[in-house]
Amino acid sequence: MTDESRPLSFTTPINSALAIQREAMTAVADAIRKSTIADERMTSMASVDVGETPKNVVYTENKLELLHYESLTETQHEVPILIVYALINKPFILDLQPDRSVVRRLLEAGHDVYLIDWGEPSRLDASLGFYDYVERYIDNCVDVVRRRSEQDAINLLGYCMGGTLSTIYAALHPEKVETLGLMAAGLYFEDTGGVLELWGDEEYYDPRDVTDTFGIVPAEFLAVGFAQMDPIANYFTKYVHLYDRLENEDFVANFARMERWLSDGVDVAGEVYAQFLEDIYQENLLYRNELEIGGEHADITNIDMPVLQIVGEYDNLVPNGASVRFNDAIPADVTVIQYPTGHVGLSMSESTHRDMWPEVAGWFFEHSGPPSLADVIGEGIEEVLGYDVETDVTAGGADDVEIRIASESGPVERGVVHRDAQAIRQFVEEALGVKVRVEESPDGIAIHVRGDDSTGTTVVTDIGSAIVEEIEEAIEGIDLAASIELEDVEGIGPTYAGRLREAGIRSVTALAVTMPETIAEAADATRDQARRWIASADELADRGGASGEVGTPLETIKGVGPTYARRLRQAGFRGIADLADSNVTAVAEAAGVSVEDATNWVEQADTIEQSNDN
């Protein structure tokens, strides 16, 4: 075979030697290049910032600090979230950097966020146990947050060991917990496959040997134990990755933040360490519902509030089974969010902040506090017309809500609207071509719907007295016609009004969405009369009577909140027009305010009315 006919892929000893030489030269050049920036990268790694989200300390006890983070939205959800962090390591892993901050994701969604920073125990704290952390520290922090937010119950979000403590707390004080969020929480330990469960088995390990020796468990002892779970990755592989990506400043900075968290350990009080290993790991007392705290049974059958389990698919520290198997032991409605990441990745990986944490923020919105008016109207639409209506408060801004309407044949309408009563109703009415009215019912909130082909009324129940009050206040903002009597409808006198009320048509809103034949039969009137009454009721309902437009309710006036507005309406001041040019003394008496405040309100109403006229 001649040189000309030899295949180009043929490898000669000379070619191989040249290839090796080229690879060696490339490697040397790469090493030289990286060596020139190594010092710079090491300097930058030593100066990285963590935990930058603005916050204030609002309560302290012993070494503990209760942090309250500054809001990032114009309005916040009524029910705050208290994050109960683990007793091991420092909590800035939940606020590592702006684009990888659990705290910031919750704030951006419109939540009010608190966090317990346990501090670091001294030798004097060696005897602190479950009772101290649950019944003293967590309970005191919960009460502080409840008092500051004026809520009877708040949301808890427990991370790792903090999730276990939060679960114990919810079992002891269910009346103070609105929802329970658990993130990689160890709750069940019986053949879950976890390395720590094996190492902590009572056959091989007695935690009292450690606590009797040290008093408090050294952070270095814990760090070595965790690192030994995957020694190749922790002592070698990660540094190879750092070297390979030394030129990537973002990677180096993130690596430095993680290393700072891993190395910045916290000692653990000896007694709580021993109790956790003995009672939770070795005896599985929490899952078996046999755990006692200070002589009181931590009865997990009390955990009937909504529960969220956040687990990592590849978590080798707290395997999925150690979390989700606990779900079968409690009566709560449990939602599980499993994401393809590890234990620490739940809080700091880029993808979880893109994909998972918006879902978590939405879950807390949906399961705590009063339902939005969009939810109430949506349920009415579903019952009366059979459409599927879903809402998402995490879409758009903090003051927006996404409404999705679908029928059996597919999507009908989707849009993001301001979380304002009138905007929500208008969106639904325009999307479906119907009229929607909302009013209070003895059994809940009544939703009246009338379309071209069908009409109906349903009552949304089982929403609790506090929630009903919130919805009632929203109704006052959306339906000024709710305070208008049937007799205000042209052509309806006391006799007709009495007959209509006996038939269950007790308000203008109900009249506006009832079919003519039903009204005619109830009032013993003609269908032509019924149609005229419906037209009149429609007009009154749409503009809130002659008392001002729905777009300018009493709450528009600075200083007039829902309570004052309700008092004014009960006294006959149904809208801006009624208040304008009114006797200030009468306004003051009706609302229970000073004449000075009433004068200010009347002047504002005058200005608004003049603006409307123009």
Distance of CA 45 to the CA centre of its chain: 34
Name the CA dihedral angle for 323, 178, 393, 82, rounded to a multiple of 10 degrees.
-70
For residue 196, the tally of other CB atoms under 10 A from its CB is 21
HSE of 448 in the Cβ direction (CA atoms, 13 Å)? 23
Are the C-beta atoms of residues 284 and 190 closer than 8 Å to each other? Answer: yes
Annotated active-site residue in 77, 95, 160, 375: 160
Helix intervals (H) in 245-370? 249-263, 270-275, 320-324, 345-348, 350-351, 357-367
From CA 302, how far away is CA 509, in angstroms rounded? 41
Please give the angle made by the CA atoms of 439, 444 and 447, to the nearest 5 degrees: 40
Dihedral over Cα of 137, 140, 143, 148: its sign = negative
413, β-bridge pairs: 405
Buried b (16+ CB within 10 A) or exposed e, 142-159: bebbbebbebebbbbbbb
Q: Which of 95, 267, 279, 315 is catalytic?
A: 315
Q: Which runs of E-coded beta strand occur in 50-153? A: 55-61, 64-69, 81-84, 113-117
Alpha-carbon distance of 522 to 113, in angstroms, equals 53
Provide the 8-state DSSP code for 237: I
The four Cα atoms 276, 278, 280, 281 give a dihedral, to 10 degrees, of 110
Catalytic residue among 173, 343, 353, 448: 343
Q: Which residues on adjacent β-strands are paired with residue 447?
A: 438, 458
> Residue 480 and residue 574: Cα distance in Å, rounded?
7
Per the annotation, the verdict on 343 as an active-site residue is yes
Strand partners, 407: 410
Residues forming the active site: 160, 315, 343
